[in-house]
Amino acid sequence: MTSPMSELPNVYGGEILHVSLDTGTTEREAIDPEHARLLLGGNGFVAKQVSDHVPPTSDPFDPENVLALSVGPMNATPFQSTSRGVVGFISPMTNGFFDSTFGGTFPRAQKTTGFETIVLHGATDELSYVLVDESGASIVPAPDLAGLDTYRTCEVIREREEEDDDDVHVLAAGPAGENRVRYACLVHKGRDREGVAGRGGAGAVLGSKGIKAIAIREGSFEPQLADEDALRELAASRMGPLMAETEMLQEYGTSGLVNPINEMGKLGRRNNRTEQVSLETADRISGETLREEYVTEHTTCANCAVRCGKHVTVQSEGLTDAKIPEFESLFGTATMQDVFDPEQVMVVNDRCDRLGMDSISWGVTVAFARECAESGVLDTADLSDADADRLRFGDAEGLVTLVDDTAAREGIGDRLAEGSFRMAETLGSDAEAYLHGSKGLEFAAHSPRGLKGMSIGYATSTRGGSHHDTRPTLQYDGEHTETTAGTPEFAARSQHFTALGDSLTQCRFVSEGGWGKRVNERYRDAIVAATGWDLTREAVERIGERIYNLERLINVERGIADRDADSLPHRVTHEPIPDGPAAGMHCPPEELDRMLSEYYEFRGWNDKGIPTDETLEDLRIPDCLAD
């Protein structure tokens, strides 16, 4: 049954749960129906919480920072793979708004509590975890969990809290989060597949609050669709295209991207000095090799037929049923290091997961430090002999030790734990030539030199070097790869698409594979069937545009978003790719400047990259926020 326009659609749980960590008190807040129409859920909801509750001058590690977890209107519905949740916070990496998504079963469990959003405020005096059920939340002291890895933390809390036939789902920080490694992540170890809120430092924020984990006990809420038959019919119609378009993911997971992207000459190697290796070398860490020699089972998130997750076993290293390295992780821990030993790389990635560290930022930071050491910018005479020896490209075993040292902040690991941008500040201006990232966040695996859409996309990303704002997928199909014509608009509209998808909380692979790589009528029809709202396709894209502008506004108010900040590193702007199929490609400063002007004009921002009052009013952003 369709809810009246003045009411919240029954597909929403209906409440926001605020948890005060310092007092142990909770407050339940009803979701404003108009806010739901304007921001949808997920990404939009957490952006609102950060905007409403975190002062622009707060440090990411201040108790004033919040950690907000949100699901979307489509969780636990027939809409495929809405098995993801979103974590929002001010990032210790960028000092700006950040949202990180993750899968598994935790998000669906949160949906059953009726709390669309859970917001953690303040900090505790002793290490604890937060237990949420449909009646509210409690803070459970747990000093004995100190130092436990993410997987063991999830297991211990489940053992303590599960009663009879109920299920408890846990999202945990590891030792890296406790030690405030700036890119510490959060890991959900479900019974089938792991979920990782990987980028931006959510684990470090949780650690700064004295919280080891958040646990959800399943509740009884079930979303009621405005038109269930219509949504089921629409979802069924997309199963064929979805399964056909995701064959590679079903077979190899994202590791299947290694060979094709290397063949394009756009796979960063040796801190991105070059972007290709021999086909034989790349194949050593490819999805094909991992599938044939190491994969033991396929795993999946809740409500997903794609099963892109894989477990691997490395008998020589005593590694059993570990999560397969994603493509982004293979970039960070293998090709950027000039390391092509698959077994050591899988050990490194398993350590990152268990210790709770973003394998992309960690790997790129290590690669940066290795090039600085090789060039003499980092004086290895100041390091222990062991640390100096490990800062060599090609050293696979050294990577394993560096993972542990970074999580513990020991030796050179203490400097690596700050990320490459803060490390560069301690080394002097010469080190900036070797940075590979933007706005304080290391780049993911998609070439900002070889893909023009990623050049402008990374530069204008609210998250910095994240590939989840502007998407590379269409670019690999040839769109906006080598031309700047229309590319700024392409990047902006891709950002609308991703903000919308993260507010629906649909997996990006399923969105792009089964529903479309751009906002289209199918997304509109699904949202209408779920909510009963009367929406056009343009209005649906407008939701993504609104959310992205809200994120930008948060960063503007924090003083970190303007034309100067919308930049790319020296290697991208001044050093063309030296060889391979993409030889000669880069993004010169004047080219970036032209694209920024076009991008700002399309967005209705001024020439400094600030959203105008007229644009904010037109998008109704003031109506989304607290007075």
Written in H, E and C, the secondary structure of 502-532 is: HHHCCCHHHHHHHHCCCCCHHHHHHHHHHHC
**pLDDT above 70 as % of the chain:** 99
DSSP collapsed to 3 states, 443-467: CCCCCCCCCHHHHHHHHHCCCCCCC
Q: How confident is the model at residue 165 (pLDDT cuts 50, 70, 90)?
A: low
3-class SS of residue 601: helix
Interval 241-260: pLDDT, tens: 999 999 999 999 999 999 99
Interval 356-399: pLDDT, tens: 999 999 999 999 999 999 999 999 998 999 999 999 999 999 99
pLDDT for 52 beyond 90 = yes
Q: Examine residue 613 and state whether it is found in any structural domain, yes or no.
A: no
- pLDDT score, position 193: 85
Q: Examine residue 335 and state whether it is found in any structural domain, yes or no.
A: no
**For the residues 406-432, what does the mean pLDDT come to?**
97
CB 270 within 8 A of CB 394: no
**For the residues 166-172, what does the mean pLDDT come to?**
92
3-class SS of residue 289: helix
DSSP code string of 143-205: GGGTT--HHHHHHHHHHHH--TT--EEEEE--HHHHTT-TTB-EEEE-SS-EEEE-SS-HHHH
pLDDT for 626 beyond 90 = no
Q: Examine residue 311 and state whether it is found in any structural domain, yes or no.
A: no
pLDDT for 2 beyond 50 = no
Q: How confident is the model at residue 440 (pLDDT cuts 50, 70, 90)?
A: very high
- Cα 136 → chain centroid: 27
Q: Examine residue 41 and state whether it is found in any structural domain, yes or no.
A: yes
CB 372 within 8 A of CB 387: no
Residue 111 sits in which domain range?
A: 15-217
- pLDDT score, position 81: 83
The CA–CA distances, whole Å, from 493 to 477, 602, 613, 624 equal 17, 10, 21, 21
CB 457 within 8 A of CB 491: yes
Interval 582-593: pLDDT, tens: 999 999 999 999
Q: How confident is the model at residue 596 (pLDDT cuts 50, 70, 90)?
A: very high
Q: Examine residue 544 and state whether it is found in any structural domain, yes or no.
A: no
What's the number of CA atoms in the CB half-sphere (13 Å) around residue 600?
A: 19
Interval 459-471: pLDDT, tens: 999 999 999 999 9
Calpha distance 518→493 (Å, rounded): 8
Q: How confident is the model at residue 164 (pLDDT cuts 50, 70, 90)?
A: low
The two tokens of residue 307 are: 């099963």
Q: How confident is the model at residue 1 (pLDDT cuts 50, 70, 90)?
A: very low
Interval 270-326: pLDDT, tens: 999 999 999 999 999 999 999 999 999 999 988 889 999 999 999 999 999 999 999
Calpha distance 548→552 (Å, rounded): 6
pLDDT for 98 beyond 50 = yes
Calpha distance 17→13 (Å, rounded): 11
Q: Examine residue 319 and state whether it is found in any structural domain, yes or no.
A: no
pLDDT for 166 beyond 90 = no
**325 contact partners, CB below 8 Å, separation of at least 6:** 255, 290, 333, 334, 345, 346, 349, 359
Q: Examine residue 46 and state whether it is found in any structural domain, yes or no.
A: yes
Q: Hey, CA dihedral for 462, 498, 577, 258, is it positive or negative?
A: positive
Query: Phi and psi dihedrals of 365, rounded to 5?
Result: -65, -40
3-class SS of residue 4: coil
Query: Residue type at 35?
Result: H
CB-neighbour burial class of residue 164 (10 A; exposed 0-12, middle 13-18, buried 19+): exposed
The CA–CA distances, whole Å, from 563 to 172, 519, 556 equal 37, 27, 11
CB 194 within 8 A of CB 187: yes
pLDDT for 3 beyond 60 = no
CB 213 within 8 A of CB 157: yes
Specify the number of domains making up the chain. Answer: 1
- pLDDT score, position 194: 92
Interval 528-556: pLDDT, tens: 999 999 999 999 999 999 999 999 999 99
The two tokens of residue 4 are: 């009246």
CATH number at residue 185: 3.60.9.10
- pLDDT score, position 435: 98
Length of the chain, in residues: 627
Q: Examine residue 135 and state whether it is found in any structural domain, yes or no.
A: yes
- pLDDT score, position 202: 98
pTM of the complete model beyond 0.95: yes
Interval 200-254: pLDDT, tens: 999 999 999 999 999 999 999 999 999 999 999 999 999 999 999 999 999 999 9
Mean pLDDT of the chain: 96
Calpha distance 461→46 (Å, rounded): 17
CB 153 within 8 A of CB 212: yes
CB 546 within 8 A of CB 39: yes
